[in-house]
Amino acid sequence: MSDAPKRPTLADVAREAGTSTAVVSYVVNNGPRAVAAATQVKVEAAIARLGYRRNSLAGALSVGRTNLVGLLVPDSSNAFFSELARHMEVAAHTRGYLTLLGNTNYDREIERGYESAFSDVQAAAIFVVTINPDAPVVDNTPRIYVHSAPATGNTSSVHFDDEAGARLAVEHLLGHGHTEIHCVTSLDDYGPTGRRARGWAAAMDAAGLATHGLLHRVPMDRIKAESALRGLLTAGAPPAIFATTDEHAIAVMRAAVLAGIRIPEQSALVGFDGIREALQGSVRLTTVAVSLAAMAERAFDHLARWNPDAPHPVTVLPPTLVNGETCGCHVPSPPA
């Protein structure tokens, strides 16, 4: 048996004040019915004596709304999604919301299940990094898609200009004189990594360069990606690599160490995302950086202006190339 003190209930307050639970509820929730001044004084005194604390979730549910928002990401162990979740939680907190986080494990059914669960608790909104190109909306809970959105439908979303970012990366490597630029990307062609791979192909085509045999699909998980990349790197050093995520770029760096390939001297490398580990690690990655703080702010701006009967806004945020030590810009000169 627990010795922890029992939390006072609405019924405890009603007994202490000598009134009904309905009257206590009216006082606690400021309505919907008026309470006589003398009775309100008695109820408030009882609340103070007992240390009663209102159950804000139950109160919100009673009027059909809560201060909860749901956030669905494919995998919060991935550094990009964990940083996105942190920025979303900060933006939610400043606006008086509490964040519920769900990991979908890149599974459409899990994603749908979480959406239904968040809707059942009457969340104020659900923010979704969807992996479903045909994600159906089956209830009236506001949904704002972040980073990745369904391909069709009237949906509110905030994402980055992924194709433009990929072109920045390829053009930077072209500027170093590379004409054979490999692309390491995810296993499928949907979402941000798909757009980035298409941006790579478009930039190569614009430069009159072939892409056949230069696209390499690996798992999103960094450890699995590293294992898959060992074969590529042990076969030789690709002159230049564009990785469509920083997770993939870091996997390339780890696989290169095992293969004895020096980056950037033998293989130039550019990533995409600008996660903290890439920008501030012991070896700074050259990467196309995006602002997750801006993404979170714009997503909550969409919620503040939510109108179910109007076209839902789409915000596209610009990327920025950040030079690090993996592309060749900062290779130290050999000793004289």
Residues 97 and 140 in one domain: yes
What is the band of 247 on the pLDDT scale with cuts at 50, 70, 90? very high
**Structural domain total, the chain:** 3
What is the band of 36 on the pLDDT scale with cuts at 50, 70, 90? confident
230: in domain = yes
Top-confidence residue, 42 or 303: 303
Q: How far is CA 182 from the centre of its chain?
A: 27
Got the DSSP string for 140-197?
SS-EEEES---SSSS-EEEEE-HHHHHHHHHHHHHHTT-S-EEEEE-SSS-HHHHHHH
103: in domain = yes
Report the percentage of the chain scoring pLDDT > 90. Answer: 64
Residues 195 and 229 in one domain: yes
Tell me the three state secondary structure of residue 289. Answer: strand
Q: Compute CA distances 226 → 95, 109, 127, 166, 216, whole Å.
A: 40, 28, 30, 21, 12
pLDDT value of position 192 = 96
Closest CA to 84 of 262, 249, 276: 276
Residues 132 and 243 in one domain: no
Say how far apart CA 246 and CA 21 lie, in whole Å.
Answer: 56
Top-confidence residue, 26 or 57: 26
Beta bridge partners, 126, equal 70, 143
309: in domain = yes
Query: Is pLDDT above 90 for 285?
Result: yes
**pLDDT (tens digit per residue) in 198-242:** 999 999 999 999 999 999 999 999 999 999 999 888 888 899 999
Look up the pTM and report it.
0.81
215: in domain = yes
Highest mean predicted confidence (pLDDT) among 64-73, 131-140, 283-292: 283-292
122: in domain = yes
Least confident of 11-25, 109-123, 311-325: 11-25
Q: Which domain holds residue 27?
A: 10-54
What is the band of 65 on the pLDDT scale with cuts at 50, 70, 90? low
Least confident of 102-106, 161-165, 278-282, 297-301: 278-282
Residues 154 and 176 in one domain: no
pLDDT value of position 134 = 81
325: in domain = no
Q: What is the CATH number of the domain that holds 20?
A: 1.10.260.40
Q: Where are the alpha helices (DSSP H) in 207-331?
A: 222-234, 246-259, 276-280, 292-304
Residues 146 and 252 in one domain: no
pLDDT value of position 319 = 95
Residues 148 and 179 in one domain: no
Top-confidence residue, 47 or 63: 47
Under a CB-based contact definition with an 8 Å cutoff, are residues 93 and 259 in contact? no
Residues 174 and 286 in one domain: yes
Residues 171 and 82 in one domain: no
Count H helices, E strands: the chain? 12, 12
Residues 196 and 241 in one domain: yes
Residues 298 and 157 in one domain: yes
What is the band of 8 on the pLDDT scale with cuts at 50, 70, 90? confident
pLDDT value of position 60 = 47
125: in domain = yes
Query: Is pLDDT above 90 for 286?
Result: yes
What is the band of 140 on the pLDDT scale with cuts at 50, 70, 90? confident
Say how far apart CA 28 and CA 58 lie, in whole Å.
Answer: 12
Closest CA to 217 of 193, 192, 250, 253: 193
Q: Which residue has the tokens 């103070």?
A: 48
State the average pLDDT over residues 292-313.
Answer: 93
Average per-residue pLDDT in the chain? 89
pLDDT value of position 217 = 97
Closest CA to 238 of 183, 285, 192, 198: 183
pLDDT value of position 334 = 41
State the average pLDDT over residues 302-324.
Answer: 93
pLDDT value of position 54 = 66
Structure token digits, residue 64? 């059909």
Total count of residues recorded for the chain: 336
Beta bridge partners, 268, equal 240
Residues 173 and 262 in one domain: yes
Query: Which residues make Cβ contacts (< 8 Å) with residue 46, sequence separation at least 6?
Result: 13, 16, 17, 24, 52
Residues 166 and 260 in one domain: yes
**pLDDT (tens digit per residue) in 252-264:** 999 999 999 999 9
Per-residue b/e over 135-167, b at no fewer than 16 CB within 10 Å?
A: bebeeebbbbbbbbbbeeeebbbbbbbbbbbbb
pLDDT value of position 148 = 93
Say how far apart CA 255 and CA 239 lie, in whole Å.
Answer: 15
Q: Where are the alpha helices (DSSP H) in 267-306?
A: 276-280, 292-304
334: in domain = no
Query: Is pLDDT above 90 for 86?
Result: yes
Query: Is pLDDT above 70 for 64?
Result: no
Element (H, E) at 72: strand 68-73
Q: What is the CATH number of the domain that holds 223?
A: 3.40.50.2300
What is the band of 311 on the pLDDT scale with cuts at 50, 70, 90? confident
Tell me the three state secondary structure of residue 272. Answer: strand
